[in-house]
Amino acid sequence: MVRSEFIARIVMWLCFATAALSLAVHWRLNNSMKADAHSQAPMGNKTQISSSQVTPQQQFFRSQNPQTTGKQNSSQRVETDQPRIIVDLSDRRVYVYRQSTVVASYPIGVGKKGWETPTGSFKVMHMQHNPAWRHPITGQVFPAGANSPLGLRWIGFWTDGHSHIGFHGTPNDEVVGNPVSHGCLRMRNPDVVSLYNQVRLGTQVEVQQ
Answer yes or no: are the C-beta atoms of 176 and 93 closer than 8 Å: no
Kind plus residue range of the DSSP H or E element containing 167: strand 164-170
Where does a domain end: 45, 77, 109? Answer: 77
Residues 104 and 196 reside in one and the same domain: yes
Domains held by the chain: number = 2
Residues 130 and 144 reside in one and the same domain: yes
**Taking the CB of residue 154, how many other CB atoms lie within 10 A of it?**
24
Q: Which of 15, 26, 126, 184 is an active site residue?
A: 184
- Cα–Cα distance, 131 to 201 (Å, whole number): 16
Residues 7 and 63 reside in one and the same domain: yes
184 is catalytic: yes
Where does a domain end: 20, 46, 77? Answer: 77
Question: E-strand spans in 34-161?
Answer: 83-88, 93-98, 101-107, 110-111, 120-123, 126-129, 133-134, 141-142, 153-159
Q: Which of 162, 164, 168, 182 is an active site residue?
A: 168
Q: Give every residue of the chain whose pLDDT is below 50, as ranges.
A: 25, 27, 29-69, 71, 74-78
pTM score of the predicted model = 0.62
Range of the domain at 148: 82-208
129 is catalytic: no
